[in-house]
Amino acid sequence: MLELQTPVQFVKGVGPRRAHDLAAKNIHTVEDLLYTLPYRYEDRTRFCRVSDLQPGAKTSILVEVLTTSLTVTRKSRLKIFDLSARDKTGLIRCKWFHSEYLHQRKIFRRGQQVIFHGKFEPDPFGTGSLQVINPEFEILDEAVPIQGSIDMGRIVPVYEAARGLGARTLRRLIHTVLSELSRVPETLPVAILERHDLMDRRAALQESHFPSAETPGEDLAARRTPALRRLIFEELFLLEVGVRWKRRLARNARGTPFHIDPRLRRTASNFLPFRPTRAQERVLDEMAEDMRQATPMNRLLQGDVGCGKTVVALQASAMAVENGAQVAFMAPTEILAEQHHHYAGRLFARSGYRVGLLTSGLKKMERRGLLEELYQGKLQILIGTHALLEPDVAFHKLGLVIIDEQHRFGVRQRFNLMNKGAHPHTLVMTATPIPRTLSMTLYGDLDVSVIDEMPPNRSPVKTYLLDEPKRSQAYRFIADQVKQGRQVYVLCPLIEDSPKLDLRPARRIFEHLRGQVFPDSRVELLHGRLKSMEKDAVMQRFAAGQTDILVSTTVIEVGMDVANATVMLIEHAERFGLAQLHQLRGRVGRGCEPSYCLLMQGAGTITPEGAQRLNCLRETTDGFVIAEKDLAIRGPGEFFGARQSGLPTLRVAQLLRDRRALETARKEATYLVDNFESQKSLSQWVAGLSSGWQARYGLVGVG
Ligand code: ADP
Ligand code: MG
């Protein structure tokens, strides 16, 4: 008999080789295998007939193999494997590129019954029959009768195939496991099962892999059968309990309360050369209130590019310094760290605070001197890149940790920096707005503040979509802006010539603009391969207004703050992600002059997603709307980058698709973790989970 924790090599049909292949897919135990769900289901009780095929639709057909051949195209020496097959109603052709193994290993034979799945299209050579390129296929076993087969005559699960592991092999293994499984302990508390009418775990696993005949295909495709609903809820619930639990731990920590009286609160604003916005004032109040408590502040500050987060963070720094504490301020790039350092230096010029800059480019001697001052407490504010995380960076009394653009860092890095003090107050900032439903999961252990107001006198950036024929018009517009004394960014995706990608590389564009288009203007080039000294010099000249047009790669993305820059021209705009485009656009519109973002599309065809992104950017400047859209286009996996977010990778649920289940799961989880009477049931419940699950969802040590 198999248990959930049984290693896969004890499953019938798994030898050392297969165990190895499974491990490569992160499948180590019977449980892992069972939580590898099909990515689609196929109703094999009836197939589409060849004569009924709809061109362009994804379909499965059952046909008999007629002929196969391997051809090599004359021009590009491309090897194509060709197969023709038929059912009673007609002929189809299948083509594979780069799949000589099909030929060499004689995978197909005449007369075989095969299921092909893919998009059938009219054959471009006009033979009249439909063809499909690189279809999925499954060759039927002649020896096995359809009656009682797990591959035929029923709704069949189709798994993502991997090296050495065909969809069919996985189906077989999972079927074996399900029939030999001894006991499946329930993961969810009984009360919750009843309240939400959830299926029992064992039945849910069975039905999710091998749905009974009457299950509607749409429900399977939308992942809303009772069985799948139960597994989705289970995963989200465990995730939320983990999030809530970590929050509880954070709330139980004891740090150092700061003394912040009205006078200090005023001082913090007196540093500024302008009046803070109401949103900035509110957020600073929230932070001051946090830092007065012994429970360390754990706050996320969200706000669009340019809304003035850095300023607020520096005000909070002043409060810390006045309390005799040190501040660590970490930014994702050198350029950004330098800019913060520069800015802080100006703000605190008359306060007597010592502000240091630590990057990996620092000379050994300077570095040693800086760290010595830090350790002795003579340096109050240390700004830097991830260089701050180095083990020899030791503080005298670290009281406030600030992390800028936190989505660029992992959770572990945040904790590493925090561990350089005794439960310091912590502020993390991001200009990548996260829709609220998700931010509560992603940043569940943080309180959230939002700056939803821009400093006065800023007009929103006007955005235009341009193509190659409009280029000269764009250049005339730029020339005009330069004549008015404004500055311009021209952004390019890559530096060097790259024939494969066909991108207009920064260097060529730079030469062209400087030599031919704007011979009378001051044009400079900035890219990531410059030495940091050179980079600095280029940036400083631009910031000082000594450069008119800065051709750059994305190194400026989060770095530059030049109010006189009014035009951002983005080459090959369709190649960038939405969040990145939004950030880049945020480099202009920082002063009171009207600003413009020119999105130049490349000459080639644009993917539908690319077009969607550009349209979205043209339609709105609201970061939250853009984030929602980004999420919808890319899906949460890519949006967050699972590793970065600190969330376990989800196996069944999807945060976006399953938002409603997520809400319910969060309510139940919050109740379970926060409610005093249920503390006993919480620890009992956690004790009932396997250690693997406890670790996965961060529940180790509960109760
Ligand atoms: P963020 O970090 O949110 O992108 P910053 O803090 O870098 O924004 O601020 C962007 C620019 O706006 C900076 O040049 C800053 O000096 C300026 N700024 C910030 N707050 C105000 C304000 N209340 N009034 C005028 N200018 C402001
Ligand atoms: Mg910033």
Predicted confidence (pLDDT) per residue in 143-197, tens digit: 666 666 788 888 999 998 877 788 888 999 999 999 999 889 899 999 999 999 9
| DSSP structural state of residue 547 | -
Residue 229 lies in a domain: no
pLDDT of the residue at 642:
39
Alpha helices (H) along 275-386: 278-291, 309-322, 334-347, 364-376
Determine which residue's CA is closest to atom 4 belonging to ligand 1: 306
CB atoms within 10 A of CB 532: 14
Token pair of 373 as six digits: 């001052």
* Cα–Cα distance for residue pair 466/476, rounded to 1 Å: 14
Which ligand places an atom closest to the C-alpha of 453? Answer: 1
CA of 455 to the centre of ligand 1 (A): 7
Percentage of the chain modeled with pLDDT above 90 = 51
pLDDT of the residue at 583:
83
* Cα–Cα distance for residue pair 25/173, rounded to 1 Å: 14
Residue 168 lies in a domain: no
**Same domain? 386 vs 332:** yes
Q: Which atom of ligand 1 is nearest to the CA of 303?
A: 3
**Same domain? 345 vs 388:** yes
Ligand 1 pocket test target in 310, 338, 557, 582 with most atoms within 8 Å of CB: 310
**Which burial class, exposed, middle or buried, applies to 587 when counting CB atoms under 10 A from its CB (0-12, 13-18, 19+)?**
buried
Q: Are strands 130-133 and 113-122 parallel, antiparallel or unpaired?
A: antiparallel
Determine which residue's CA is closest to atom 20 belonging to ligand 1: 308
Residue 580 lies in a domain: yes
pLDDT of the residue at 483:
95
Ligand 1 pocket test target in 333, 339, 561 with most atoms within 8 Å of CB: 561
Q: Are strands 113-122 and 58-72 parallel, antiparallel or unpaired?
A: antiparallel
**Same domain? 396 vs 496:** no
Which ligand places an atom closest to the C-alpha of 308? Answer: 1
CA of 307 to the centre of ligand 1 (A): 6
Token pair of 309 as six digits: 């987060």
Which ligand places an atom closest to the C-alpha of 457? Answer: 1
* Cα–Cα distance for residue pair 606/616, rounded to 1 Å: 15
CA of 340 to the centre of ligand 2 (A): 8
Residue 1 lies in a domain: no
CB atoms within 10 A of CB 186: 13
Q: Which atom of ligand 1 is nearest to the CA of 277?
A: 23
* Cα–Cα distance for residue pair 410/418, rounded to 1 Å: 13
How does the average pLDDT of the chain come out, rounded? 87
Which ligand places an atom closest to the C-alpha of 335? Answer: 2
Q: Which ranges of the chain have pLDDT less than 50?
A: 502, 639-644
Determine which residue's CA is closest to atom 19 belonging to ligand 1: 308
**Same domain? 284 vs 412:** yes
| pLDDT tens digit sequence for 477-501 | 999 999 999 999 999 886 555 555 5
Q: Which of 248, 296, 197, 299 is nearest to 672 (CA)?
A: 248
CB contact at 8 A, 646 and 665: no
Label residue 253 left, alpha or beta by phi (over 0 means left) and psi (-120 to 50 means alpha): beta
CA of 456 to the centre of ligand 1 (A): 10
Which ligand places an atom closest to the C-alpha of 336? Answer: 2
Residue 70 lies in a domain: yes
> Which residues in 394-483 belong to E strands, given as ranges?
398-403, 425-430, 447-451, 462-466
Looking up residue 359, the CATH number of its domain turns out to be 3.40.50.300
Looking up residue 86, the CATH number of its domain turns out to be 2.40.50.140
CA of 583 to the centre of ligand 2 (A): 10
CA of 385 to the centre of ligand 1 (A): 21
Give the bridge partners for 54, in sequence order: none
Which ligand places an atom closest to the C-alpha of 307? Answer: 1
Which ligand places an atom closest to the C-alpha of 403? Answer: 2
CA of 556 to the centre of ligand 1 (A): 17
> Which residues in 532-663 belong to E strands, given as ranges?
549-552, 565-570, 596-600
**Same domain? 295 vs 432:** yes
Q: Which atom of ligand 1 is nearest to the CA of 343?
A: 16
Determine which residue's CA is closest to atom 10 belonging to ligand 1: 306
| DSSP structural state of residue 555 | G
- On the CB side of 136, CA atoms within 13 Å amount to 16
CA of 334 to the centre of ligand 1 (A): 19
CB contact at 8 A, 393 and 371: yes
CA of 531 to the centre of ligand 1 (A): 28
**CA-to-CA dists, residue 264 to 269, 424, 425, 630, angstroms:** 9, 19, 17, 41
**Same domain? 317 vs 430:** yes
**Same domain? 473 vs 609:** yes
CA of 284 to the centre of ligand 2 (A): 16
**Same domain? 425 vs 469:** no
Residue 242 lies in a domain: no
Q: Which residue has the tokens 């288009």?
A: 517
Residue 189 lies in a domain: no
Q: Which atom of ligand 1 is nearest to the CA of 305?
A: 4
Determine which residue's CA is closest to atom 18 belonging to ligand 1: 308
Determine which residue's CA is closest to atom 27 belonging to ligand 1: 455
Give the bridge partners for 120, in sequence order: 132
**Final residue before a domain boundary, out of 153, 181, 207:** 153
Task: Give residue ranges with CB within 6 A of ligand 1.
Answer: 274, 276-277, 280, 303, 305-311, 431, 455, 561, 590
**Final residue before a domain boundary, out of 96, 127, 153:** 153
Q: Which atom of ligand 1 is nearest to the CA of 311?
A: 6
**Same domain? 296 vs 397:** yes
**CA-to-CA dists, residue 356 to 313, 340, 365, 419, 532, angstroms:** 16, 11, 14, 20, 17
Residues 6+ apart with CB under 8 A from 15: 9
Token pair of 490 as six digits: 């021209």
**Same domain? 346 vs 466:** no
Give the range of the structural domain holding residue 57, as residue numbers without chain letter: 49-153
CA of 622 to the centre of ligand 2 (A): 17
**Same domain? 65 vs 128:** yes
The number of domains in the chain is 3
* Cα–Cα distance for residue pair 392/367, rounded to 1 Å: 11
**Final residue before a domain boundary, out of 132, 153, 174:** 153
Residue 695 lies in a domain: no
Concatenated DSSP letters for 575-607? GS-HHHHHHHHTTS--SSS--EEEEEPPSS---
Q: Which atom of ligand 1 is nearest to the CA of 307?
A: 3
pLDDT of the residue at 643:
42
**Same domain? 269 vs 382:** yes
CA of 336 to the centre of ligand 2 (A): 8
Which helix (H) or strand (E) segment is 81 a member of?
strand 79-87
Ligand 1 pocket test target in 274, 283, 311 with most atoms within 8 Å of CB: 311
* Cα–Cα distance for residue pair 167/499, rounded to 1 Å: 38
